[in-house]
Every structure is written in C-alpha cells, then in structure tokens.
Amino acid sequence: MTLTSPPDFRAHSVPPAPPIKRATWEWYIPIYFWLGGISAGSWIAAAAEDLTGGRNRRLIGTARWLSLGTLLGGTALLIADLGRPERFHHMLRIVRARSAMSLGSWGLTAYGGVAGLAAMLQAGEAGWLGRRAALARLSRGGAGRAVHVAGLPLAAFVGSYTGVLLASTSTPSWEARAGWLGPLFLSSALSSGIAAVALAADLGPGLGPRARRRLARAEAVALAAELALLAQAGRASRPLPSERRARPKLGAARALVALAGMALPLGLAIARGAGRKRRGRRRQQNHALHLAGATLALGGSLALRYLVTHEGYRSADTPEDTWRITSGGDGAPGRRPVRGPQAVEPVLADGRLSAPA
Amino acid sequence: MTAPGHAGVAHGVRAWDRHDAGAAEQAQQTSGTAITPGRAYGFFTDTTLCIGCKACEVACKQWNQLPSDGFALSGHSYDNTRALGATTWRHVSFIEQFDGERFETGAGATEQWADPAHRWLLLSDVCKHCVEAPCLEACPTGAILRTEFDTVYVQQDVCNGCGYCVPACPFGVVEVDRQRDGKAHKCTLCYDRLKGGLEPACAKACPTDSIQFGPVDELRERAKLRVMELRGRGVPAYLYGTPGVLENEADTSRLRGLNCSFLLIDRPEVYNLPPEPRRPSDNTAPGLLASGLAAAGLVAAALLAFWSER
Amino acid sequence: MGSNFAECHPVGFRFVMLAREKGAEVIHVDPRFTRTSACATKYAQIRAGTDIAFLGAIIRHILESEQWRTDPFFQDYVRHYTNAATLIEEDFRDVADLGGLFSGWRQDYYCPDTWQYAGMQRVLNLADRQEEICRLKTTQSWGMHAGRTVGGPPRRDESMQHPRCVLQILRRHFAPYTADEAARICGVPAERIVDIADTLLRNSGRDRTSSVAYAVGWTQHTTGPQMIACSAILQLLLGNIGRPGGGIQPLRGHATIQGSTDIPTLYDLLPGYLHMPTHLPIDVGLDTYVWNEGGATGVWAHTRSYMVSLLKSYYGEHATAENEFGYQWLPRIHRDFSHMPMFVDMHAGRMEGFILMGQNPAVGGPNARFHREALGRLKWLVVRDLFLTESATFWERAPEVQAGEVRPEDIETEVFVLPAASVLEKDGSFTNTHRLIQWHHSAVEPPGEARSDAWFVVHLGRRLKARAAGSAAERDAGLRALTWDYPVHGPLEEPDMDYVLREINGYRWPDDPARREPLETALHLADDGSTACGCWIYCGVHPGTNRAASREPDDYVSPGWGFAWPNNIRLLYNRCSADPSGQPWSPHKKYVWWDERERRWVGADVPDFPPDKPPDAPGDPSLGGLEGFAGDWPFVMKPDGRAWLFFPNGMKDGPMPTHYEPWETPVENPLYAAHGRNPETRIWEVAGNAYHGIGDPRFPFVLTTYRLTEHHTGGGMTRWNSWLAELQPEAFVELSPELAGALKIANGGWVTVVTARGRAPARALVTRRLRPLRVMGREIHQVGMPWHFGYEGLVRGSAANELVALVGEPNVTIHEGKVLTCNLVAGRDGAAERPGAP
C-alpha cells in the first residue's frame, strides 16, 4: 500500500482552505516599509554628506528632517495597524532576538532617538532654538558627525529589518528568498532615501550641481544594487506555483518595477552623475531629469514593497507553495535530505519496526 | 522566555492545591492522568479513529464561549468552518478520496477505511503547541508564552494585535480577530481547565478517543505502539510531530516536535499539513547578517559616491 | 444496515470503533458513503429500499454453505432455539406460488390461518369475528398475542428435513435470492455480497458473534418491520441472538424513543406493551381482553396481573374487582389513529384542537405542506417547544405563504406557544436502545416561563379533574376516578419525578402514600388488586432506591449502572448463551450457564429464564406460564419458547420477509411483477398527496432522506444554536458528479428537487461518495437530502419532507421516508439560474 500522490486542489471545485494564513496587515503597511526605508536612506545620505566632507548644509538639513518625518509617519501607520493601538507600548515589554518584530520595535525606538537628536541639532542650526552660534556649531561639527555615525547602523537596520521580518514568516514567497529580502529592502531604502532628499532639497533654491551629482552617483550605486538584488532574489528559488500561475501578469509587474522604478532612474542617475560641466538649457534639462529620476526611484521603491507584499499574500493563499517550501527540493540552502513519510513501508525490511535510539 | 511564565507557575501551583479532591479524582478518571504543573501536556490525535462528528469543535466553542464563524455552506464536503482561526480552535477536515466509477472492489484485503481508492479521511486539527513555537518566537510583546503545562498561550491582557504571529505560524492556526477585539486567538489547550485538573474540552468530548490528552512523553509512547500496530495490519501509518520516536515519520525536527501530534495514513499535504514545517525565526539571524553585510557595502559605496564629487 | 451509526449515534459508535481496533469487521451497507462507511472495514452501496433482497442473498448463501450445514453449533442452535424444526400448515403457500402473495390474501388484508403451525389454530374467544379484527388496520389486529393458538404441541421434525418444516420452507423461500439476482436488484456487485456473507459466517459461531445495528434507515419503509425480521432470521441462523456480542440493535432516533414505546406516547398501546382495548367484542370486558391478549405459556401468561396492576395505579381505590378494576373507563379505539391517519383527519377538518409537545410536523412530517394545511384547519393548536418552531409560525412563514399561495388571514387556527424546559432543566429518565433506564437530574432552573412537559401534563390534569369533579357525565367518570396526586415542589411547582418513577415501579395495595411499599420485581405483581404498577416491565427500577440513578460501572456488564428492564437483565434471551445442555458454547463466549452444583443458572447477567429450571427439564405447556417451558426453550416471550424464523402470528404482511420494491421505485420487481410492492401498503389517496407510479418517467431518480451529526431531527433543537448551525448551515442535496454533469448542476449551486408533493430548492453538494448504480441493467442515480431544515431558526433551507408522501407500512403505519423517487432541476425553484458561489 502506498500513500497517494499530493492532491491537485484545482480538481476540486471548492479547494480546501490554505494551510497557512497570510499576514492581515492593512493596505498601508507597505507604505510604512517604504517610509521607513526613506527615513533610513536619507539618514545615510545625511551621514555620507557630513562624513565625506561635502557639507552641503541644505542637503544635510533636508535629510535630517526627512528621516525624522518619514519615521514618525511610518510609526504612526504601524500603530494604526495594531489590533489594539492603545497597547503599542507593549512592544517594549520584552526583547526577543528571534522576533524580527521585537528587534524592529527596539531598533525603531533607538533610531527614533538619534533621529530626534539630529533633528534637534538641525533645529538649533536653523536657529529655531534661539540664535545661538554654539548650537549651530554643535550641529555642524563633531557632535553632528558623531550622531550621524551612531545612527548609521540603526538606519541600516531600520532600512533592512522589514525585509528580514517578512522573511521570518511561513509565507512561502518570502521564505523562499529569505536571505535576500533584507539587503533588497536596504538597497531600496537607500535609493528611495537619496531620491527623497534630492527631490525635497531641490524644491526651493537649488542644491548646486556638485551636491546633485553626489546624490546622483550615490543613487546610481543604490539603484544598481537594488536591481542586482532583485534579480538575485528572483533567482533564489525556482518559481513557486503561485508565481508560475500568475505569469505573465506577475512577470509584467516585476519587469515594470525593474525597468521604470530601477533601470530608468539608474540611467538618469548615471547621466546626471557623470557630467561635470553643464550650462544653460542643459542645466535646466538636467534639473528636470534629476527630479524625474528621483520621482521614478521613489515610486519604484514603493512599488517594490507592494510587489513583494502582494506576492507573499498570493503565495500564502496557494497551498502548493507551502507544499513546495516545506517538502524540500527547492534548493534552499541548509536543507537536510528529505526523510519524509513518502518512504513509509508497512513493516521494515527486517520485519520489525525499530525506533531510533 | 519571559517573566510571566514564572508568575503562571506560581499561580498554577496554588490553584492545584486549592481545588477540591473530588474534581481531581473525576479529572483523573476522565483524562486518565493527573495534571501537574511542570509537565508537558498535549494531544495525540489519531486520525484513524476520527468519525468526523465535530463534537470537539462544538465542545471547544462551548467551553471557550467562541462565536460562530457565520453561516455559509462551503460546498467542500461536510466542512463548513473551513479552517482554524480566531473563533475556531478545533477544526475537523474532511478529505474525500474516491477513484474509479463505482465501489467495485470486491473481497479486498484492505480495510475499507484505509483503502486509498475509496475513503473519507477525517482529521481534527488543532494548534500544535510546537516545542519551538514560531508564534511565540514572533510575538514582540511577550503576550504569547509557555505555560507551566508547556503549552503555548496568548495572554489576552498583553496582546496588542500586531498580528506578526499570524504569518509566523507554519500551520495557519493563530489569527487576529480584527472584527471583534483586535487580538490574537488560538487554542489554549484549555488552560483554565488544566488549572482545575480537567482535561481539555475537545478531548473530553471525543467519543472515539481520536483525540487523546495526556503528558507528551506518555502520548508519544502510545503513539509509537499505535503506529506499529497499524503497520502490522498493513496500514501505512506514521506520526506527525514526534521527531525521533520512529523511523519514517514526518520531519518536524525544525520545531523540535509538536506537543500536539497526529497519526496520519496519507501524505501530510493531503491533510493540509506542511510536510516538513519550518521554523521561520531561523531566517532572522541570517537575514540580519546578510543585511549587515549589505549595509556595510552600500554605506561604503554611498560614502565613496559622495566622496568622489566633494 | 439502515443506520448511519457514526453520524447519528456517535457516542455509541465509540464501542464499534473499539471493536474494530480489536479486530472486528465493521460492515456498512447504505445508499450513501457516510461517515459510518468512512470508518467501516467493508462497505457496499445499495439501492435504497432493497435491503431484504440483500439480506435474502446473504441468508441463502449461508443456508447453502458447507460450513453452515456441517457446523454442529449452527445446527444445534437453530434446532433447539428456533422453530426451524416445527412443521407448518399444509395449506401454506409461498410468494413464488402466488405471484408475490402469501396464502390467506383477502383482497386488501391477510388472514393468517394457513401460516399456523401444523395442527394448531389461532382462535379468538369470539371466533366468528376473526375477519373483523383482520380488517382493523391497527397493531391490534395482528398482535402476536391477539387471540390464542390452540391445539398444540406443535409437530416437529428434529432432523429439519421435512418439506413442511420451517427450515425447508425458508430454504425454498430464499432460493431465488442468488447473489447475482440480488446484485441486479440492489446494485451491489455480487462478489461484494458474497464477501459480506462469508465475513458474517466467519465471524459467527461457537467462539465469535456478530451484531446487526439498524435505525430508521430500516424502519421508514413500506417493508420496514420485515427488513428487521429478515435480520432476525439471519442472526438466528448464525446463532447470534442471546449471546454476548450478538443481537440486533435498534438505534433510536431520540434519547428515549425506547422509553416512549415502553410507556407509550402511542394511541394503540398501554404501558408495558399491553394493547389498548378496541370497540370489538373481544375487548368487551377485562376477562375477554386478558384471554385474547395473554397466551397460555411464556411471560404473557400473567397478562391479567399486569393489566390489573396498571388499572390499580390509574384508579387507586376506585379500581375494584367489582368494576373490573375500572377497565370500562379505558377509551376504546376503532381504527388507526397513528400520525398519518390523524393528519389526514385533521386535513379533512375532522379535528378541533391539537397539542404538540416537542414535535414539529410543519417540517418534520412526511409531506410537510399537507401537514401545514392540516394544522391550518384546526381551531386551536398548542405548541410546546424550546424555540418558536415552524409549527408555531406556519401560518405566516411557510413557503406557500411566502409565495403568496396562501394568505395568513385565511388560516383561522389559534396558536398558543408555551415555552418548554430542556432536558438539562428537568429531572427524569431516558430509556435507551438496550432498555437501560438512566436518570438525569436537572442542572438549572428553566428560564422565564419555560416549564417541563411533566409540569404541563400534571397541571393540565389537575385542571381537567377540577372541571370533571362537578360533572355527572358518564364520559367523565374515568377522569373523576383517576388518581392524580402527584406532589409538586419548588417555586415553579414542578412535579416530583421520583414519585412518578415510584408509581411506575409499582407498590403494594392498600397504599399509604407517605410510606409506600415498593415492589421488587414483576413476579410480585398480583391479579387481585393487591398491587399497583404503572408499567409492569419497569417493575424493580425503584425498589426503595432509584436504581435508574445508580452509577457503578465495571469492566463488563455493569449491572450497577442504571436499570435495564425487565428485572435488570442486560441481554435478553441469555439462556441462548449456553448450549442446550446448559454449558457455555465456548469459554470465550461464556455468559449465563447452568451450575449443576448450585442447581441454578448463574453468570455475568441476571438469567432471562426461570432461575432454577434445569436444562433437561421437559416441556409441558399445560402447566402454563414459564412453568410449562422446557429447559432449552430460551425465548420466554414466545408461547412455544423458541425464536421464530417463520412467523405464524405478529406480522400482517406475511410470515416471512420477501423483497417488495418501495412504494415509489424506478424499476419493476423482477421477482414477481404482479405484486411488486407490498400489497398491504397503507396509502391515502387524498388531495395534495399524489404518488408516483413504478418507473415514473417524470421522476427518474431515487431520493433518500437522512440526518447529519450536526443537527437533530427537524432541527427544532439545533438550528437555533449557532455552534451547531454553523457546522451545517444550509439545506443541500448530495449527488454524484455523473448526475451533476448530466444535469449541468454545479457544486454549491442551486438545485431544486421535485416530487408530486412539492419542490425543495437547496444547494448541490456534488460528491463521489454517491455513485450511479447498475440496477436491472440500467443506470440508477440516487440522491440524498438531509431533512433538518425549515423556514425558522438561525439557518434555514428547504425541508426534505416537502417531497415525501404519506404512505404507510401495514404493521405500524410508519411512513416511507427513506426512499422515494424524484426529479432534479438545476437552479432555484426550477427556474434556470446561474449557480451562485457558495
């Protein structure tokens, strides 16, 4: 007697309920992922500008405000999504190393602290706390740089942990590319953060060509990494049944995000970052390209979050994805050989049934 | 592990000492075991004994005063509650397996109920109370904890409904009731009954002992004997959730086993169970490490980019 | 067979599963593959209503098998404990000779003269009225003990070879039931039938026993009692009666259905299976009643004691020898007043008022619309139930009212709804299928105005008696004489149910209610008015303490758990568990046996036999009662002490079961076309109750109705409970993918089931658990529909009873709810409709 083959649920007119549950987040949670990423990315931009000697105060100031603002906005969304928002502070009852959500809560809190500090320095620099030169010096000097350095790992964490958080679930599509989601989200955080800074800083009087080029070059680096990581994450697992079934729509969406949200702004960023001397019309055009590229990068980053989230939901609703991911053979690293019940014999060869010692 | 566990143990001991001997005796009679804090308890669900009566579902809802899931005919066999969830903590699955055009098998050696060509598999599903419980590991508030009975329990006064336990669970058990109280709910293994020395309501209601309650070590021993007996009868039985008890069982070792285990006679997928459930929190540290490396590279590249155009 | 044990009796099914795990074969024969089939070791899908053909083939296979003919166990058991060796009248003719009729047919009823044992006659003390009682279509007309058989002892041929001995008649009777013929009729492959027969044979005998369980899947047929009789023949041939692990288990539909026939809610019975007197001369006085009711031998020889004690408990001091203990106050019946004839009367406007207690005929009665129309012609109706059931709201919510065919203002019935207490809110007892009386205590007070049924009856009785007290009318004399001294307690004035049980148990007369002297056993019942007993078979349930409330389990028979009537005997006819010489048939199946040293019957159970009658005692019927029994006559209820493989009396529609097609059937009966259906079937050709013909092309499919675990009967207790309602939330029709495909019906979509009585739209549940059958070379489709639903409650749906006809079985007038023919139309209400998503 043998075990029957895995059921083909499409044969039933009413399939069984999915074996796992999808996350029941509100629609705006991917926006939080995006905002948190912008916050982290703009922090890195501020720190890089500060540490590499560019010292464009307009750029740094914009980035500092952006990182705090998007962080607060994102956190508000997070709290709104809770089933019991008034209990948001329960997140800080414990620390749990195996809970990405717990780590994320603490990371957000700590990052919120440095972001707040930086914003205070920036407020001092802007003279909102009284016209005291000392405050501005602190902000521009070592203290500002120290805060930036201290915030770097936290920003990197905030920019990437959301990907790890998705990966640390039983959702097949996320689990299948577990190691790649954190880096992917981080690269997207950086690209969106830089793009946001570029956009915001350029809304008023211009940043100046050099600062723009700096941003464009960093943007290019981030977008290149994002593209590469997206491709890598896509290759990390064989297409899941839900993905195979969703082709070509899903493929088109992915291609659109990769092209319009990453490749196109990458091209624009390279174009902007490469040129040293521009004049007149060219400069006007360059500015327009600059804004267009940043907008596309921001949109691409948001679209990426929705795409990844949506793919996760779909795969959670597709039983075969779970069968695939939990029955070995998907080439995921660290899998031990399949020793499943497929091999059950009524009685073992020696006629007895031995239990392992 | 967090502090509330200790408080629970202390409270449990007091409750055990307090409650009257008559109830303890009755409890022992019905559950066949004394219920003592500090020991691991669970279920062993023998699907070959399930008759699909759903008494477990009703007993569970009655004891825990859970609302109905609504009144809709699913069209999926006799299963109208469909899945475990916030308001369904026991769920009976109905799997119709029928090949061929007629019940034409004559004097077959196979017992009808185990004949893969014509059978109706029945399984009463429940929270597995995993030894390494992904929901508990995911919970950022400490609302989910292990009790003194080694069960996994959601403290309703702590849960803030973040919902991260929901996708973390490899079995789709826990769910946040967003319509009602916004908190996560799942089987408590009748924590309140255990405190009073009573076996959980579902096991008590099960007429055929398909659901057996007891100390996990004893249940595993029983399960092993049962599998060997069935295999001797030619039924390809195996265990789900008891790594290391027998050869040829489902691999649940990533969760270090399940306190609520199952005896199955077809592949786990057939019962809507993952063949080799994974422990999602295994991905956290590697993910963070990869992110850290990526961060180092990206930050360095960003610095370089900024530096290149000072 | 005929039962869905796992679904309808899941708690009892525990023991079936325990047995299966100890190696027992569990065989399920059913039109649908149910949860019981899912747990069985063997399953056969049978065409509904063909059970006798199936059992007949098994009986034939066993009778002709080498093993049965040569195993001394089977031969000894059958020779000594059944009437197999008894010779039958020469004039007896079987169905094969008369085209489907037995001898004695008189146009529309049987006269059983030719079915008697050779040399014996069945006589009434008013012999010239025999035909009259045959025509009286109640259970009275054929009560086993209606009249006496005289002229014995019956002639026997111990070799069982005489052509007129029962065994040979039986062999000839079942000869046409070959496995192939049964396969053609039932749609079960012949090899499956043979396999099941061999399995039964293998699992019966000296060391093993097999048990048969049935439920309303057998009773609700126009041949229902004959199906049960057929299984009795099978079990007797296999030596499975009166032995541990054997028997026939009638699984009951409700918790105390057994109790409701013991202390009956039936029009034709008095407590303890004493017949209600008729208007005929045979019942003119107590003496003639007893002469006709009681036999000379067996336990029925003491009928006078049972009846006088009952009358004494009814009328107390007013019951004296001078007034026949009040016998003349008992009402008389003159025809069938059972459920269906009663509703036919009601429908014809011949009834004024009606009290419904825990019954819901508006959806639970066969041909539900007919029932509702009947209720609508009453002047008043009292509904006592837990919830506002369909029977209380039929006048405004019924489908025909919603459809505008009937206007509420045209219905003049005044409906009174009285909330009833549930079982948890009242004391009382349940009597379950193995006659075990178990007490239950109220756990909580009933809410609001809800009261127990006993409260209603006792207080109604008090008011009626108060009214009658001043009446001089002759018709009120019985009511005036009736003892009605039930004490009540508590603020709700609920009757003391322990007092009621003591009255049922019986007590000595003269009576002092304060120090009532209870009886210990029915043997103490007297026929001179010195004892009172509410139900003779329950005597011993309360000998000072309430034995129904005792709870002392042990590992085997558990005599300390509750009380089994009669006399706490757990296994009836347990004398059969020993061989004719009184020794156990085998050590493994040891139960009750003769202890030579103690000179008495001993064992695990109370012996169902005179305790000190040695196994070699000779029979002498002239001594009467059990005194006249031989030591190897185990069947104490039968006048000849032996089980009947051939029934000289007791069944109106033939002395042996034979296959008749259901009243509504898609095929002709291949055995005898002229009388293909039970010739004695009770039919009512009244408006609104049209029947389908045999093979009616308008209604090509076989429909069976059934229950689910999740609901109870008409749903009156369960459809209002959200935990149960969500589990089966809507009416549905189960059908095979083949039929669904042919009719373009989608799973979860709407389908309307149509019969000449009505239409029932419901959801389609397409499942491979139902398969088309090959019957008589044709493909027959069966569909099934649970009958729990109605138009009230949390979950609603069409009542399957809208489809069922009023058609009755001749012995007990039960309707044929388990098989009829129907048509299916895709969509709701017959209109083509796109199947909705579930």
pLDDT digits (tens, 9 = 90+) for B75-101: 999 999 999 999 999 999 999 988 766
- Mean residue pLDDT of chain A comes to 85
> Which is nearest to C422 in space by CA: C453, C458, C468?
C453
C395: tokens are 């006048």
pLDDT range class, residue B16, cuts 50, 70, 90: very low
pLDDT range class, residue B122, cuts 50, 70, 90: very high
- Residue A17 forms contact with C (CB below 8 Å): no
Look at residue A169 in the predicted model and tell me its pLDDT. Answer: 96
Quickly count: other Cβ atoms within 10 Å of residue A76's Cβ: 14
Q: Name the residue facing A355 among B224, B265, B283 (closest C-beta).
A: B224
Q: In whole angstroms, what is the distance from residue C817 CA to residue C663 CA?
A: 11
The CB-side HSE value for A227 (13 A sphere, CA atoms) comes to 19
For chain B, how many residues are written?
310
Q: Best interface-test mutation with B: which of C5, C8, C20, C21 has the largest number of B CBs within 10 A? A: C21
DSSP chain B: --THHHHHHHHHHHHHHHS-HHHHHHHHHHHSS---TTS-EEEEEEGGG-----HHHHHHHHHHTPPP-------STT-SS-S-BTTBSEEEEEEEEE-SSS----S-SS-GGG-TTEEEEEEEEE---BSS-HHHHH-SSS-EEE-TTS-EEE-TTT-----THHHH-TTS--EE-TTTTS-EE----SHHHHHTTPPPHHHHH-TTSSEEEEEHHHHHHHHHHHHHHHHHTT---EEES-TTSSSS----GGGT-BSSEEEESS-GGGGT--SS---GGGGHHHHHHHHHHHHHHHHHHHHHHHHTT-
Q: Is there a contact between B106 and C6 if contact means CB atoms under 8 Å apart?
A: no
Question: Which residues lie below 8 Å from residue A264, measured CB to CB, with a gap of 6+?
Answer: A293, A296
Contact C417, C388 (CB under 8 A): yes
Look at residue A79 in the predicted model and tell me its pLDDT. Answer: 96
C422: tokens are 């549930």
- Residue C766 forms contact with A (CB below 8 Å): yes
Q: What angle do CA C516, C517, C518 make, to 5 degrees?
A: 110
A258: tokens are 């990769």
- Mean residue pLDDT of chain B comes to 88
pLDDT range class, residue B17, cuts 50, 70, 90: very low
Look at residue B173 in the predicted model and tell me its pLDDT. Answer: 97
Look at residue A337 in the predicted model and tell me its pLDDT. Answer: 35
CA nearest to B288 within chain A = A164
Measured between CA atoms, how close is B58 to chain C, in angstroms? 6
Q: For chain C, give the longest Cα–Cα distance.
A: 80
In terms of Cβ atoms closer than 10 Å to its own Cβ (0-12, 13-18, 19+), residue A179 is: buried
Measured between CA atoms, how close is B159 to chain C, in angstroms? 26
A333 has pLDDT over 60: no
Look at residue C147 in the predicted model and tell me its pLDDT. Answer: 64
Contact C550, C505 (CB under 8 A): no
CA nearest to A13 within chain C = C747
pLDDT range class, residue A350, cuts 50, 70, 90: very low
DSSP C56-103: HHHHHHHHT-HHHHH-HHHHHHHHHHBGGGBBB-TT---TTTTTS--T
Contact C50, C704 (CB under 8 A): no
Q: How far is CA C461 from CA C458, C605, C803, in A?
A: 5, 40, 38
Q: In whole angstroms, what is the distance from residue C779 CA to residue C777 CA?
A: 7
Q: Is there a contact between B80 and C768 if contact means CB atoms under 8 Å apart?
A: no
Condensed to tens digits (0 to 9), the pLDDT of residues B171-203 reads 999 999 999 999 999 999 999 999 988 999 999
Interface size A-B, in CB pairs within 8 Å, comes to: 365
Residue C297's SS3 state is strand
Q: For chain B, give the longest Cα–Cα distance.
A: 89
CA nearest to A12 within chain C = C747
Q: Name the residue facing B277 among A22, A225, A326 (closest C-beta).
A: A326
DSSP annotation of A169: S
CA nearest to B70 within chain C = C726
Condensed to tens digits (0 to 9), the pLDDT of residues B231-280 reads 998 899 999 999 988 888 889 999 999 999 999 999 999 999 999 999 99
Contact B260, B84 (CB under 8 A): no
Look at residue B227 in the predicted model and tell me its pLDDT. Answer: 95
Look at residue C405 in the predicted model and tell me its pLDDT. Answer: 93
Helix pair angle (C166-174, C51-63), 10° resolution: 120
> Which is nearest to A185 in space by CA: A100, A246, A280, A95?
A100
CA nearest to B91 within chain A = A17
Residues of chain C with pLDDT under 70: 124-147, 830-838
pTM of structure = 0.91
Lowest mean pLDDT among A20-34, A177-191, A208-222, B158-172: A208-222
Q: How far is CA B94 from CA A322, B51, B74, C34, C371, in A?
A: 20, 10, 12, 11, 36
Partners of C748 on chain A (C-beta within 8 Å) are 13-14
Contact C662, C687 (CB under 8 A): no
Quickly count: other Cβ atoms within 10 Å of residue C448's Cβ: 7
Complete edge-to-edge strand list for the sheet that includes strand C414-419? C353-357, C380-385, C414-419
Contact C133, C277 (CB under 8 A): no
Which position has the higher pLDDT, C626 or B49? B49
Condensed to tens digits (0 to 9), the pLDDT of residues B19-30 reads 455 666 666 766
- Residue C838 forms contact with A (CB below 8 Å): yes
Q: Is there a contact between B74 and A14 if contact means CB atoms under 8 Å apart?
A: yes
Q: Best interface-test mutation with B: which of C36, C42, C712 has the largest number of B CBs within 10 A? A: C42
Look at residue B102 in the predicted model and tell me its pLDDT. Answer: 61
Q: In whole angstroms, what is the distance from residue B233 CA to residue A299 CA?
A: 63
C647: tokens are 């029934």
- Residue A354 forms contact with C (CB below 8 Å): no
Q: Which chains touch B (3 or more CB pairs under 8 A)?
A: A, C
B7 has pLDDT over 60: no
Measured between CA atoms, how close is B19 to chain A, in angstroms? 33
B15 has pLDDT over 60: no
Complete edge-to-edge strand list for the sheet that includes strand B238-240? B211-215, B41-46, B261-264, B238-240
Condensed to tens digits (0 to 9), the pLDDT of residues C300-359 reads 889 999 999 999 999 999 999 999 999 999 999 888 899 999 999 999 999 999 999 989
Host H or E run for residue A252: helix A249-258
Pairing outcome for strands C750-754 and C782-786: unpaired
Q: Which chains touch C (3 or more CB pairs under 8 A)?
A: A, B
Q: Which residues pair with residue C593 across a beta bridge?
A: C602
Partners of B83 on chain A (C-beta within 8 Å) are 17-18
Q: In whole angstroms, what is the distance from residue B116 CA to residue A322 CA?
A: 23
Partners of A14 on chain C (C-beta within 8 Å) are 747-748, 838
Q: Is there a contact between C39 and B51 if contact means CB atoms under 8 Å apart?
A: yes
Q: Is there a contact between A170 and B168 if contact means CB atoms under 8 Å apart?
A: yes
CA nearest to B299 within chain A = A44
In terms of Cβ atoms closer than 10 Å to its own Cβ (0-12, 13-18, 19+), residue C801 is: buried
